[in-house]
Copies of this chain bind each other. A is one copy, B any other.
């Protein structure tokens, strides 16, 4: 047992840790034998038991602590916490055994992390995940395959191609013969896994950029020669990307990274339903076309589940417009993509099958652990425009998935999605999606019923925004002129900012806030409270309690707020 003790710490580490805190610690020493042993699969039962015991602590001990804390309590402020994490030296010898490290994480870190799994945490697109997801992630880590190439992943690369074809089919519904041809075709690519939605969007627009400015006589393509040369070869002054003003900020980032310039990501205003204004989009396209090619539209990006409002652009209409004008059409369905799993609501995304590419996040409504995204392409050959090869990896003609990918080394998150689909069935995901949408609608009704609240953007999926706006102020607003409205809204903004902060600091529940200049015809900047209903444990009673608390905070602090 002595060696095991040395290697993995103690079975009863909680007790031991207390002892350590009291007693003078004996210094640990890094030594080759001990170190090597951490690499070997333990053969004796005692050591195995210890390793399992740690997993038990991780699975349940961590959850015990999370249970006690909800939201982002300010019991200990960020500033105070920061003071505890300032030592920047690395000890030469080991500081702690695994047992102590786990205890420390459970006792000192977890209580100050954010309990994103709480049903009262409805502020962001991060929520509880099914328990089995943790097991699946552990499998991915234990196998430790690298998807960049077949030589470090073999069957897992093949499995990933299958999962990608499964989701492609959910989006595009091509014929069986199409999937037979492409599912295991090493020359074509239906999509790829990325770190997150941002990288999925960047990948899609990278492909769009390279497709538009591909090689032609006297020009070897934008990827090789760069943008300046491409603009010269094509007689272009600039490229633009058209998208709704509610689109995710990653599109601007993509414009910056890809060298197009983020000011050329043009935000089109939305209609009264917070969808891209089609008339304005059409007008913009026409105006740009009148430049005779001097300005080129690199892509139009539609949203299926806007980050702030959850709204979905009219994908079918945008798709047809793009098709008529021969413009690349990308859909950012990072949030809303999995709605396609629900037969009841998939129609909300009608037209997504017209997209040249689609972004979907796994760690959002596929309920996978942080972080995993995906991007899909209608044309199985289009990713060729971003292929890279090297002698030591990614050889031409191989199944190496790193050939067409923004990243190099990459873990097998596809295993998690594949297993989750098998465990849940599409119906399991459908139930989660439907619960979110329907609870959000119930919540909207509740908000409308309460005199102190104002619904700002009603839910189309499972995201909504509202604000505190007492009945008498609502009345004032309706009669006010522009200046008066401005002054009232500024006051309301202060109130909502304060209530959101105080609720967060109280630590019982968390809604987020954002600033919208939509949902009101005056285009005023108004601060709204934002709820995302994705946790299946979040129900209307919990949401009522959250509103009750906001009312309570508002009443208690009204004086304070008004006098600010």
A152–B170 touching, CB < 8 Å? no
- The 20 sampled A-B contact pairs (Cβ below 8 Å) are A8-B132, A30-B427, A35-B536, A39-B536, A41-B60, A55-B55, A58-B142, A72-B150, A83-B184, A85-B161, A90-B426, A92-B426, A94-B425, A102-B135, A134-B141, A146-B371, A196-B407, A220-B263, A249-B394, A252-B388
B117–A144 touching, CB < 8 Å? yes
B39–A130 touching, CB < 8 Å? yes
B39, B88, B183: which contacts A85 (Cβ < 8 A)? B183
B183–A86 touching, CB < 8 Å? yes
B60, B159, B369: which contacts A48 (Cβ < 8 A)? B60
Interface size band for A: 35 or more
In the assembled complex, which residues on chain B have CB atoms less than 8 Å from the CB atom of A471? none
B184, B257, B258, B425: which contacts A82 (Cβ < 8 A)? B184
Shortest 6 CB-CB distances between A and B: which pairs? A259-B259, A226-B261, A370-B411, A112-B155, A30-B427, A198-B408
User: Quick one: CB contact mask for A109-120 with B, threshold 8 Å, 1 for yes?
Assistant: 110111011000
A98–B423 touching, CB < 8 Å? yes
B256–A224 touching, CB < 8 Å? yes
Q: Does A502 contact B (CB under 8 A)?
A: no
Determine the distance from Cα of A361 to Cα of B146 in the docked complex, in whole angstroms. 13
In the assembled complex, which residues on chain B have CB atoms less than 8 Å from the CB atom of A87? 162
B227–A197 touching, CB < 8 Å? no
* Nearest neighbor of A185 in chain B, beta-carbon distance: B82
A425–B39 touching, CB < 8 Å? no
Determine the distance from Cα of A60 to Cα of B42 in the docked complex, in whole angstroms. 9
7 extra interface residue pairs, beta carbon distance < 8 Å, beyond A196-B409, A206-B257: A52-B52, A85-B184, A116-B145, A126-B144, A228-B238, A249-B390, A363-B409
Determine the distance from Cα of A512 to Cα of B83 in the docked complex, in whole angstroms. 48
In the assembled complex, which residues on chain B have CB atoms less than 8 Å from the CB atom of A389? 249
Please give the distance in Å from A383's CB to the nearest CB on chain B.
Answer: 13
Copy total for this chain = 2
A35–B424 touching, CB < 8 Å? yes
Within 8 A of B (CB), among A66-101: 66-67, 72, 78, 81-83, 85-98, 101
Determine the distance from Cα of A36 to Cα of B410 in the docked complex, in whole angstroms. 31
In the assembled complex, which residues on chain B have CB atoms less than 8 Å from the CB atom of A60? 41, 48
* Nearest neighbor of A85 in chain B, beta-carbon distance: B162
A91–B126 touching, CB < 8 Å? no
In the assembled complex, which residues on chain B have CB atoms less than 8 Å from the CB atom of A229? 238, 261
Q: Does A453 contact B (CB under 8 A)?
A: no
* Nearest neighbor of A416 in chain B, beta-carbon distance: B141
B262–A223 touching, CB < 8 Å? yes
A423–B139 touching, CB < 8 Å? no
Please give the distance in Å from A537's CB to the nearest CB on chain B.
Answer: 6
Determine the distance from Cα of A386 to Cα of B197 in the docked complex, in whole angstroms. 18
